[in-house]
Amino acid sequence: MLKLSPAAQKSANLIYHFAQRETKSRYKRSLLGWFWSFANPLTTVAIYSFVFGVVYRASPPATENGNAENFGFFLFSGLIAWNLFTGIVNGCMGWLQSVSDLRKKVYFPTETALLGGAASNAVQTSLEALVLVAIMAALSNLSWTVVFLLVALLFTIAFGLGVGFVAAIMNARYRDIFYLVGVLLNVGFFLVPVVYPVSFVPEQKWGLPIRALVEWNPPALFVGIARDGVYFLEVPTLGHLAAASAWATLTLAVGWTYFRARSMDISEEP
């Protein structure tokens, strides 16, 4: 067994507590419980498959063996990373808000509430990923490259937490941030190549290298790496991996530093 210092042990207990609470409360008083965590991404996949695959007759991007060439799988393999990202960023603001009253009365490290919530999201995403991988295995479209799905999700968690830490602190001061972030994430969903492949984006437009902008922004890198691993069965390019890990670690480091510097002020917000 790993032996932790008392402070780390305390944080670990709290993270576990908050993760459990988040998981329990998410579908409390709902009959179908965890079913809803699949219903949402599944309907999204169905709707977009219909609109793009049937109405626009877009053919799904070709894969090597063609076994799982389906617009729905293409979409779901990217959506899984995107949804994890938005879930954590939106969640962080809510998780901090839900413990801020408590924090005014008793000391505990506030980051544990955010880390616990993120852990709960990560578990849920893992279940979705398992379903995806199982389907891919059944269609014999699986290779060792599936580890890059895991890598992409880990990058996404780190990056999402980095952004979430900053958003949560700012939201404690100005509740507008929650709505602003919601709008930005909505825009992001279409700016990040989740529903279309990067190759559809023109290289230049309005004098801007827009394909490079779409390709190299952090959520797009995570979506791309996940998709490479589980849909195309390709090894992501070294450039993509390097850029993704740099974005993830830097954002997490900045977010964490900012959060630690400001989290003691939470108890003094009116």
The least distance separating other proteins from the CB of residue 175, rounded to whole angstroms, comes to 7
Does 103 help bind other proteins (rule: CB under 8 A)?
yes
Q: Out of 102, 137, 147, 187, which residue is the one contacting other proteins (CB under 8 A)?
A: 102
Q: Which two tokens stand for residue 189?
A: 């969903």
Site size toward other proteins, by CB under 8 A? 27
Q: Under the criterion CB under 8 A, does residue 4 sit at the interface with other proteins?
A: no
Distance of alpha carbon 75 from alpha carbon 62, whole angstroms: 13
Choice between 49 and 112, CB closer to other proteins: 112
Give the residue among 194, 250, 252, 253 at the shortest CA–CA distance from 223: 194
Nearer of residues 21 and 211 to other proteins, judged by Cβ: 21
Q: Report 19-38 residues binding other proteins (CB under 8 A).
A: 21
Closest separation in Å from C-beta 9 to other proteins: 6
From the list 38, 108, 256, 258, which residue makes contact with other proteins (rule: CB under 8 A)? 108
By CB under 8 A, is residue 143 in contact with other proteins?
no
Q: Binder to other proteins among 10, 27, 126, 245 (CB under 8 A)?
A: 10
In the bound state with other proteins, the residue whose beta carbon lies nearer, of 19 and 221, is: 19
CA 204 to chain centre: 29
* Segment contacting other proteins by CB under 8 A, of 7-15, 125-133, 158-166, 213-221: 7-15
Task: Give the contact letters, 61-100, x = binds to other proteins (CB under 8 A), - = no.
Answer: --------------------------------------x-
Smallest distance, other proteins to C-beta of residue 228, A: 39
Supply 169's token pair. 């602190």
Q: Find the binder of other proteins among 59, 104, 140, 208 (CB under 8 A).
A: 104
Beta bridge partners of 205: 208
Give the range of 63-71, 81-89, 171-179, 239-247 binding other proteins by CB under 8 A.
171-179
- Residue 117: CB minimum distance to other proteins, A: 14
**Whether 125 contacts 83, CB under 8 Å:** yes
Q: Which DSSP string do the residues of the chain spell out, in sequence order? A: -----HHHHHHHHHHHHHHHHHHHHHTTT-SSTTHHHHHHHHHHHHHHIIIIIIIS-PPPPP-SS-TT--HHHHHHHHHHHHHHHHHHHHHHHHHHHHHHHHHTTS---THHHHHHHHHHHHHHHHHHHHHHHHHHHHTT---GGGHHHHHHHHHHHHHHHHHHHHHHHHHHH-THHHHHHHHHHHHHHHHTTTSS-GGGS-S-BTTB-HHHHHHHSHHHHHHHHHHIIIII--PPPHHHHHHHHHHHHHHHHHHHHHHHHHGGGGGG--
Q: In whole angstroms, how close is the CB of 263 to other proteins at the nearest point?
A: 10
Applying CB under 8 A, the residues found at the interface with other proteins are 6-7, 9-10, 13-14, 16-17, 21, 99, 102-108, 174-177, 180, 264-265, 267-268, 270
